[in-house]
Amino acid sequence: MQRVGVFVCWCGSNIAGTVDVKAVAEALKNEPGVVFSTDYQYMCSQAGQDMIINAVKEHNLTGIVVCSCSPRMHEATFRKTAAAAGLNPYMVEIANIREQCSWVHKDMALGTEKAIILGKAAVAKVNLNAPLTPGQSPVTKRALVIGGGIAGIQTALDIADAGFEVDIVEKKPTIGGKMAQLDKTFPTLDCAACILTPKMVDVAQNDKIRIFSYSEVAEVKGFVGNFDVTIKKNARYVKEDICTGCGACVEKCPMKKNPNEFNLGMDNRPAIYIPFAQAVPKVATIDPNACNMLKNGKCGVCARICTAGAIDYTQKDEYIEEKYGAIVVATGFNPISMDKFDEFAYNQSKDVITSLEFERLTNAAGPTAGHLERPSDGRSPKTIVFVQCVGSRCDACAEKGKEYCSKICCMYTAKHAMLVRDKYPETEVYVFYIDVRTPGKNFDEFYRRAVEEYGVKYVKGMVGKVVPEGDKLKVQASDLLANKQLHIDADLVVLAAAIEPDKSARPLATMLTASMDTNDFFTEAHPKLRPVESPTAGVFLSGACQGPKDIPETVSQASAAAAKVIGLLAKDKLTGNPCIAHSDELMCNGCSSCANVCPYGAITYEDKEFRMPDRTTKVRRVASVNPAVCQGCGACTVACPSGAMDLKGFANLQIMAEVDAICK
Partner 1 sequence: MQKITREQLIAKASELLSNGTVSQVLGWGKGEFDYDVTPTLFSSAEELENGFVFNDFCGANFSKYLVSKAAKADGKLLVFLKPCDTYSFNQLLTEHRFDREKVYAVGIPCEGMADISKVKAISGDGIASINADGDNLVVTTLYEDAPITIATKDVLAERCINCKSKKHVAYDELMGEEGEVLASNRFDEVARLEAMTADERFAFWQNELSRCIRCNACRDACPACTCEKCVFDNPNSGVENKSPANEFEEKLFHIIRAYHVAGRCTDCGECSRVCPQNIPLHLLNRKFIKDINEFYGEYQAGEEVDSRAPLVNYTTEDLEPGEVFDRGDNNA
Partner 2 sequence: MNNNKYLREELLRQSGVNPKKCMKCGKCTATCPAFDEMEYHPHQFVSMVESGDIEPLLKSESLYKCLSCFACIDRCPRGVEPAKLVEAVRLSVIRKQGGNRLSADDVPSLLDEDVPQQLLVSAFRKYSK
Partner 3 sequence: MQVNEYKPLIVAFCCNWCSYAGADLAGNNRLAYPADVKIIRVPCSCRVNPTFILRAFQRGADGVIICGCHPGDCHYTSGNYYTRRRMAALFSMLDFLGIEKERTRLEWVSAAEGAKFAATMNDFVQTVASLGENKRLEDLRCKK
- Which chain residues interact with partner 1 by CB under 8 A? 586-593, 596-597, 605, 616, 618-621, 639, 641-644, 652-653, 656
CA 114 to chain centre: 41
Q: Which does 480 bind (CB under 5 to 8 A by kind): partner 3, partner 2, partner 1, none?
A: partner 2
3-class SS at 238?
strand
Q: Is residue 467 at the binding interface for partner 2, with CB under 8 A as the rule?
A: no
Q: Which does 322 bind (CB under 5 to 8 A by kind): partner 1, partner 2, partner 3, none?
A: none
Q: How far is the CB of 129 from partner 1 (least distance, A)?
A: 16
> What DSSP letter does each residue of 286-341 carry, written as one string?
E-TTT-HHHHHS---HHHHH-TT--B-TT---EEEEEEESEEEE---EEEPP-GGG
Q: How far is the CB of 663 from partner 3 (least distance, A)?
A: 3
Q: Which does 586 bind (CB under 5 to 8 A by kind): partner 3, partner 2, partner 1, none?
A: partner 1
Question: Do 473 and 377 form a contact (C-beta atoms < 8 A)?
Answer: no
* Helical (H) or strand (E) element with 52: helix 46-59
Q: How far is the CB of 489 from partner 3 (least distance, A)?
A: 49
Q: Is residue 243 at the binding interface for partner 2, with CB under 8 A as the rule?
A: no
Q: How far is the CB of 96 from partner 3 (least distance, A)?
A: 7
The residue among 550 and 585 lying less far from partner 1, judged by its C-beta, is 585
Pick from 110, 194, 242, 398: which binds partner 2 (CB under 8 A)?
Answer: 398
- Residue 104's alpha-carbon distances to 12, 96, 101, 120, 310, in angstroms, are 16, 12, 6, 19, 72
CA 616 to chain centre: 55
Give the whole-angstrom CA distance, residue 120 versus residue 427: 80
Q: Is residue 343 at the binding interface for partner 2, with CB under 8 A as the rule?
A: yes
The order of strands in the sheet holding 463-469 is: 463-469, 472-479, 484-490
Give the whole-angstrom CA distance, residue 77 versus residue 553: 36
Q: How far is the CB of 521 from partner 2 (least distance, A)?
A: 20
Q: How far is the CB of 625 from partner 1 (least distance, A)?
A: 16
The residue among 188 and 642 lying less far from partner 1, judged by its C-beta, is 642
* Helical (H) or strand (E) element with 95: strand 92-96
Q: Which residues within the stretch 376-395 sit at the binding site for partner 2 (CB under 8 A)?
A: 389, 393-395
Q: Is residue 339 at the binding interface for partner 2, with CB under 8 A as the rule?
A: no
Which residues share a beta bridge with 169?
A: 146, 212
The residue among 483 and 518 lying less far from partner 2, judged by its C-beta, is 483
The residue among 424 and 605 lying less far from partner 1, judged by its C-beta, is 605
Q: Which residues within the stretch 534-593 sit at the binding site for partner 2 (CB under 8 A)?
A: none
The residue among 220 and 475 lying less far from partner 3, judged by its C-beta, is 220
Q: Which does 113 bind (CB under 5 to 8 A by kind): partner 1, partner 2, partner 3, none?
A: partner 3
Q: How far is the CB of 325 from partner 3 (least distance, A)?
A: 21
Q: Which does 359 bind (CB under 5 to 8 A by kind): partner 3, partner 1, partner 2, none?
A: none
Q: How far is the CB of 293 from partner 3 (least distance, A)?
A: 44
Give the whole-angstrom CA distance, residue 103 versus residue 115: 12
> What DSSP letter does each residue of 642-656 carry, written as one string?
SS-EEETTS-HHHHH
Please work out the total of residues on this chain that contact partner 2, with binding judged by CB under 8 A: 23
Q: How far is the CB of 533 from partner 3 (least distance, A)?
A: 14
Q: Which does 76 bind (CB under 5 to 8 A by kind): partner 3, partner 1, partner 2, none?
A: none
Q: Which does 483 bind (CB under 5 to 8 A by kind): partner 3, partner 1, partner 2, none?
A: partner 2
- Non-local (6+) Cβ contacts of 102 within 8 A are 11, 14, 15, 16, 17, 18, 19, 111, 115
Residue of 346, 331, 648 whose CA lies nearest to 505:
331
Q: Which does 593 bind (CB under 5 to 8 A by kind): partner 1, partner 3, partner 2, none?
A: partner 1
Q: How far is the CB of 384 from partner 2 (least distance, A)?
A: 17
First to last CA, the chain: 19
Question: Do 164 and 225 form a contact (C-beta atoms < 8 A)?
Answer: no
CA 661 to chain centre: 42
Q: How far is the CB of 344 from partner 2 (least distance, A)?
A: 10
Q: Which does 118 bind (CB under 5 to 8 A by kind): partner 1, partner 2, partner 3, none?
A: partner 3
Q: Which does 641 bind (CB under 5 to 8 A by kind): partner 1, partner 3, partner 2, none?
A: partner 1
Q: Is residue 463 at the binding interface for partner 2, with CB under 8 A as the rule?
A: yes
Q: Which does 587 bind (CB under 5 to 8 A by kind): partner 1, partner 2, partner 3, none?
A: partner 1
Q: How many CA atoms lie within 13 A of 628 on its CB side?
A: 14
The residue among 72 and 618 lying less far from partner 1, judged by its C-beta, is 618
- Residue 583's alpha-carbon distances to 156, 591, 647, in angstroms, are 41, 12, 9
Handedness of CA 541, 547, 552, 556 (dihedral sign): negative
Q: Which residues within the stretch 471-510 sit at the binding site for partner 2 (CB under 8 A)?
A: 476-478, 480, 483, 485
Q: Which does 397 bind (CB under 5 to 8 A by kind): partner 3, partner 2, partner 1, none?
A: partner 2
Q: What are phi and psi for residue 37, nearest 5 degrees?
A: -150, 135
Q: Is residue 110 at the binding interface for partner 2, with CB under 8 A as the rule?
A: no
432 residue type, one letter? F
Residue of 607, 627, 404, 600 whose CA lies nearest to 498:
404
Question: Do 549 and 408 form a contact (C-beta atoms < 8 A)?
Answer: yes
> What DSSP letter does each residue of 202-224 carry, written as one string?
HHHH-TTEEEETTEEEEEEEEET
Residues forming contacts to partner 3 in the complex (CB under 8 A) are 70-73, 96, 98-101, 103-107, 110-111, 113-114, 117-118, 121, 513, 515, 535, 579, 597, 599-600, 631-635, 637-639, 647, 650, 652, 655-656, 658-660, 662-664
Question: Do 525 and 546 form a contact (C-beta atoms < 8 A)?
Answer: no
Q: Which does 579 bind (CB under 5 to 8 A by kind): partner 3, partner 1, partner 2, none?
A: partner 3
Give the whole-angstrom CA distance, residue 132 versus residue 26: 30
Q: Is residue 460 at the binding interface for partner 2, with CB under 8 A as the rule?
A: yes
Q: Is residue 465 at the binding interface for partner 2, with CB under 8 A as the rule?
A: yes
Q: How far is the CB of 635 from partner 1 (least distance, A)?
A: 9
- Residue 307's alpha-carbon distances to 239, 242, 244, in angstroms, are 13, 10, 10
Q: How far is the CB of 486 from partner 2 (least distance, A)?
A: 8
The residue among 458 and 522 lying less far from partner 3, judged by its C-beta, is 522
473 residue type, one letter? L
Q: Which residues bind partner 2 (CB under 8 A)?
A: 343, 389, 393-399, 401, 434, 460-465, 476-478, 480, 483, 485
